[in-house]
């Protein structure tokens, strides 16, 4: 277990692991302290997500480029997937959808914008490989269309309309997963020369041995699942306590918590003038949630959820995803960035966050 302890000593984020047992203790001893549970579970998820992310990368590094790329591409958002699965099993479909849409928007706007800003404050102009940004932005565009079409076409809440939305959602989910699989074939196999080094692992960070990595992957996934259960339970109560709308919590808070580990890597890449890395993490992660995590959840809802979940999102969330995709397409078009590009992207995110924060409940 030496490398794991070394990692914990090196990475200050991992000191937060102490909140994992603290959460379980608090849940046992004070079962009604929902706000405390919420705060502790947020603090506990962050280091677990960082461990999951490192373990996935270590497995990926050991299994060769292509298999590793596929692993990274499917397990890279394992935290988001586990949180969403927990909410799915509890039948909290509004929270599932808000956290999915929020993760897409937060990765596309906040992670990308803050990377541009942090990089731009240090370097006058930064350049990055447009190829990858364009592929991920196109995939996001495709997913947004798939999510937009059911709402655009059917306004009816009739019985016929709901059967239609359900069937369509399954069909769209299969299409999206297919498109995602083909995009991996494209970027990892047939046209890999267009996609620069997208290795997430930092230089100097040695990958763990395979056994340790696999054990961590399994063990931490279980921990994330347990923590998520408390998190999903407490999140609505906490929202009331903090005076936040449920939309804001699902969209902004959950997304920031679930993506904390990736953000740390993206921002550190930007400060080291490796903007390729930052863009690839931010847009790649958003595309993965839109084309892999979301449709997988729709399909799993038939097995694990109380009722089937569809792909029809709240119209405001659809508009936000559409705008986020357009913003990413526009700003990554030139392959260059400076601080003001970051400001622009962050402003769009701020507009969304402010709107959701002020939104009266039940509208």
The residues that touch a copy of itself, with contacts defined as CB under 8 A, are: 124-125, 134-135, 138-139, 141-142, 145-146, 148-150, 152-156, 158, 160-161, 163-164, 167-168, 171-172, 175, 178-179, 182-183, 186, 190-191, 315-316, 319, 323, 326-327, 329-331, 333-334, 338-340, 343-344, 347-348, 350-352, 354-355, 358-360, 363
Which is nearer to a copy of itself, 235 or 321 (by Cβ)?
A: 321
Contact 264/115 with Cβ under 8 angstroms?
Answer: no
Closest to a copy of itself by CB, 62 vs 130, is: 130
Instruction: Report, in Å, the least distance between residue 293 CB and a copy of itself.
Output: 18
Nearer to a copy of itself, 158 or 197 (CB): 158
Q: In the complex with a copy of itself, which residue's Cβ is closer, 36 or 299?
A: 299
Give long-range contacts, CB 8 A cutoff, 24+ apart: 122-127.
Answer: 122/271, 122/273, 123/273, 124/338, 125/336, 125/337, 125/338, 126/270, 126/273, 126/275, 126/336, 126/337, 126/338, 127/275, 127/335, 127/336, 127/337
Between 20 and 275, CB nearer to a copy of itself: 275
What is the closest distance, in whole angstroms, from the C-beta atom of residue 220 to a copy of itself in the complex? 34
CB of 34 to a copy of itself, least distance (A): 25
C-alpha atoms less than 13 angstroms from C-alpha of 203 in its C-beta half-sphere = 5
Close Cβ partners of 87 (under 8 Å, ≥ 6 residues apart): 93, 95, 96, 99, 228, 232
Q: Minimum distance between the CB of residue 196 and a copy of itself, rounded to whole angstroms? A: 17
Name 360's Cβ contacts closer than 8 Å, sequence gap at least 6: 245
Are residues 110 and 328 in contact, defined by beta-carbon separation less than 8 angstroms? no
Give the integer Cα–Cα distance in Å for 288 and 109. Answer: 15
Closest separation between CB of residue 142 and a copy of itself, Å?
Answer: 6
Whole-angstrom Cα distance, residue 89 to residue 304?
A: 6
Least distance to a copy of itself, CB of residue 248, Å = 12
35 or 355: CB nearest a copy of itself: 355
């Amino acid at each position: 277990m030496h490398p794991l302890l070394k990692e914990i000593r090196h990475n200050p984020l991992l000191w937060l692991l102490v909140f994992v047992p603290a959460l379980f203790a608090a849940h046992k001893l004070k079962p009604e302290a929902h706000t405390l549970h919420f705060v502790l579970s947020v603090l506990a998820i962050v280091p677990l997500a960082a461990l999951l992310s490192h373990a996935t990368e270590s497995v990926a590094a050991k299994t060769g480029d292509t298999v590793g790329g596929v692993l990274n591409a499917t397990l890279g958002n394992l935290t988001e997937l586990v949180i969403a699965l927990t909410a799915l099993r509890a039948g909290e479909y509004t929270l599932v959808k808000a956290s999915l849409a929020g993760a897409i928007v937060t990765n596309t706007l906040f992670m990308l914008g803050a990377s541009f800003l942090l990089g731009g404050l240090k370097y006058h102009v930064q350049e990055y490989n447009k190829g990858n940004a364009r592929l991920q932005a196109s995939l996001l565009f495709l997913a947004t269309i798939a999510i937009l079409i059911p709402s655009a076409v059917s306004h009816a809440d009739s019985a016929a309309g709901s059967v239609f939305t359900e069937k369509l959602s399954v069909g769209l989910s299969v299409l999206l997963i297919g498109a995602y699989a083909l995009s991996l074939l494209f970027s990892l196999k047939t046209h890999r020369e267009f996609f620069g080094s997208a290795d997430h692992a930092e230089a100097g960070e040695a990958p763990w041995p395979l056994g340790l990595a696999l054990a961590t992957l399994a063990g931490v996934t279980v921990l994330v699942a347990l923590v998520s259960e408390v998190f999903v339970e407490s999140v609505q109560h906490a929202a009331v306590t903090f005076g936040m709308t449920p939309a804001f919590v699902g969209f902004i808070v959950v997304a920031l918590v679930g993506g904390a580990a990736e953000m740390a890597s993206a921002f550190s890449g930007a400060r080291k003038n490796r903007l390729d890395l930052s863009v690839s993490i931010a847009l790649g992660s958003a595309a993965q949630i839109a084309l892999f995590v979301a449709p997988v959840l729709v399909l799993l809802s038939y097995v694990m959820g109380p009722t089937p979940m569809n792909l029809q999102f709240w119209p405001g969330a659809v508009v936000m995803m559409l705008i986020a995709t357009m913003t990413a397409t526009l700003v990554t078009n030139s392959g260059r960035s400076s601080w003001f590009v970051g400001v622009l992207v962050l402003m769009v995110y701020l507009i969304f966050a402010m709107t959701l924060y002020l939104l009266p409940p039940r509208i």
